[in-house]
Structure 1
Amino acid sequence: MNKKPAFTTICSLFFLVMILSNTATANESMLMEAPIIIDGQTFRTPYIMRDGHLLVPAIFVKNTGAYVDKNEAFHSIVFSRGETKFAIPIGKNYSDDFDRLTGNWIRKPLATSSIEFQGVPFIPLIDVVKKLGMNVQYDANLGRTFITTNFHIKSNVVRKANTKEKLVALTFDDGPEDYYTPQIIDVLKQKNAPATFFVVGRQVQLFPEVMKQIVKEGHGIGNHTWNHPDLRKEWSGKVKEEIRMTQDEMEGVVGRRPHLFRPPFGAITKSDMRLLNDLGMKNMHWSVDTLDWSGLSADEILEIVHRDVSPGGIILQHNFQSNVRMLDGTVEALPRIIDELRAKGYTFVTLQTLLDMEQEE
């Protein structure tokens, strides 16, 4: 007679635990976002609270300028900055810190365990940034976490050249391919106007003859990664590999390894900027975004160009493959851009020439 109530109590407790567990899982599947201020700049990130500690996706730390990589063999995340290097095994409450003097890895405790949620590794933010030599504090009144990296990374973003001369550079992203690129090259040849093509490595591999034609016609080239990923979402080692593979492919096809680089979508972290500096590459953005990728008409593209162009300007256009003819406006607008800007006194040059002219001033 006494066993039935006991059994009922045990079942009730079991179901209570299950309910609580399911509630926690549901909450974590709908992650909230928190603003984190790094050197005065605000970044938003999904987060998880565990044992009173803030956990964020490991790759978020790239915003501080540190290199972040995933070691698949040891199922860990590796962070490095200057002489500091350590690994955090996923699911553990410790780090393995590399001692450069002895060449040994030393195990040290963390405030809480790292976790993996929906395939994304989350790490205790405070522990990690402190280990990287950064200052961090939480302002309870503002509800904000502030990080001071104590880490200067030279800005390498070039949006336009610092010149008063009416020089302008036409640039085309995402090729080469065999429909729009040949048309663009023909227009440029007819108008005797040089341009700069930021090429995707896999496209160079697919269309080597078109790539050779770009160089043969005297146009500049730049690196636009191998697969066109959002670099903010890629491990540091993957970013470096995207650049290296494209450099190798260009060298194999046209014998050049350009030092001009343009990140896909113009999206980049402080860590990626640091990597470009380490590789000696210029981070080329633009001052005139024609938005041609969205299928704008030639008239709409021209309106943007005339509105935004200025001496030293860099005009962004595209030459990607499109089954729905998204870039017809680009081809139609190009000869008019050249003629109308020349009528205003502009001279078209490659990006490298534009940079060289800036250095001469």
Structure 2
Amino acid sequence: MTKDQLLTRRQALLAGAAAVGAAGTAGLFIAGTGGEEPVRAGAGPAAGPQARAALKPSAYRLQPLTGDAPPRTRPGRLAVRSEPIMEFPVRGRSMVLTFDDGPDPHYTPHILDTLAKYDVRAMFFVCGEMAAAHKELLARMAGAGHIVGNHTWTHPQLTQLKRAEIRDEMERTSDVIEDAYGEPPQWFRAPYGAWNRAAFQLGAEMGMEPLAWTVDSLDWTTPGTRTVVDRVESGAGPGVVVLSHDAGGDRSQSVQALRTYLPYLLDSGYHITVPRRRRV
């Protein structure tokens, strides 16, 4: 898919997307940087340390397309969720940075360099066709302790695909991740935040939890570096999951914004964390 096609598709989906409330996340753990112990309980997102105008609910938010109750879970499988995880229950000032659509050889290395400079880890939800072309970047992510998740092969809207097509998109991507990253992904994010029952079921069968986001930086619209920075900083709070992008278009603003808001968050006392890996 070309960059122009991806932007056009996102713009079309933006017009019909709706914001929803946070999903329940009981029983998940966060492994913090700097030796922070994982905890279960916690509060929802709070305002950042500096007073800023409240961020309006993003129009580019997931719209869970679920209806029927999920089937019973087979032994050994993950539970099938009916909504994606949108934030993590934590105690203290911990939050998660995520980057979608890569890896891109022009932008992902700069993001990895900035994360390395401040010795923090993040989550990368990669598209299979990008990962297959740039496996060396997945290997670098693995070496630095970042988490790599599944974002499908071609970034389609899953709600418009047949179940077999969704499975193919997810399985092919998981295979590439396992080959290049060294282990299968444990997290999945639906393109455009368009979830359906098949995506939840198939993800659970493949051992992946569905992760959405709390704060959408909307960096893919290239609103200006300062705007991206303000959205992330004003949305910062315990358990928050931030959505940004390292591919799919010109991501120079995303790169520059990270260089500004990451030290701000750290200086403000936030721990930038990733979920603890499950033993498989």
Relative contact order, higher structure (CA 8 A, sep 6+): 2
Q: 1:334 is aligned with what amino acid?
A: L
Matching residue of 1:35: none
| Pair 1:344-2:268 in alignment | yes
Larger Rg computed on CA atoms? 1
TM-score, scaled relative to structure 1: 0.54
| Pair 1:328-2:276 in alignment | no
Matching residue of 2:214: 287
SS of structure 2 residue aligned to 1:158:
coil
Distance 2:89 2:253 in 1: 30
Matching residue of 1:359: none
TM-score, scaled relative to structure 2: 0.69
SS of structure 2 residue aligned to 1:157:
coil
Gaps of 5+ in 2: 1-64, 73-79
Q: State the shift of 1:266 in Å.
A: 0.7
Matching residue of 2:239: 312
SS of structure 1 residue aligned to 2:149:
strand
Question: Please, which of 147, 160, 166 is the counterpart of residue 233 of structure 1?
Answer: 160
CA contact (8 A) 1:65 1:271 kept: no
Question: Please, which of 200, 206, 211 is the counterpart of residue 273 of structure 1?
Answer: 200
Distance 1:193 1:263 in 2: 25
Alignment RMSD, CA only? 2.3
Distance 1:63 1:260 in 2: 19
SS of structure 1 residue aligned to 2:183:
coil
Q: State the shift of 1:343 in Å.
A: 2.0
Spell out structure 1 runs of 4+ moving beyond 4 A: 62-67
SS of structure 1 residue aligned to 2:242:
strand
Q: 1:257 is aligned with what amino acid?
A: P
Distance 2:203 2:141 in 1: 25
SS of structure 1 residue aligned to 2:99:
strand
Instruction: Write the deviation string for residues 27-84 of structure 1: whole angstroms up to 9, x where unpaired.
Output: xxxxxxxxxxxxxxxxxxxxxxxxxxxxxxxxxxx855599xxxxxxxxxxxxx89xx
Where is the strand percentage greater, Structure 1 or Structure 2?
Answer: 1
| Pair 1:157-2:84 in alignment | yes
Q: 2:205 is aligned with what amino acid?
A: D
Distance 2:89 2:183 in 1: 26
Instruction: Pick which of 192-201 and 212-221 moved more.
Output: 212-221
Question: Please, which of 155, 158, 171 is the counterpart of residue 244 of structure 1?
Answer: 171
Q: Residues 212 and 279 from structure 1, CA distance in 2 versus in 1: closer, same or farther, beyond 3 angstroms?
A: closer
Instruction: Write the deviation string for residues 217-267 of structure 1: whole angstroms up to 9, x where unpaired.
Output: 221110111111000001011111111111111112222101100100111
CA contact (8 A) 1:261 1:282 kept: yes
Instruction: Write the deviation string for residues 278-332 of structure 1: whole angstroms up to 9, x where unpaired.
Output: 333211000010000011222101111122221011111101143xxx3221111
Matching residue of 1:212: 139
CA contact (8 A) 2:69 2:82 kept: no
Question: Please, which of 112, 123, 135 is the counterpart of residue 196 of structure 1?
Answer: 123
Distance 1:252 1:273 in 2: 23
Q: Residues 154 and 333 from structure 1, CA distance in 2 versus in 1: closer, same or farther, beyond 3 angstroms?
A: closer
CA contact (8 A) 1:169 1:313 kept: yes
SS of structure 1 residue aligned to 2:132:
helix
Q: 2:107 is aligned with what amino acid?
A: Y
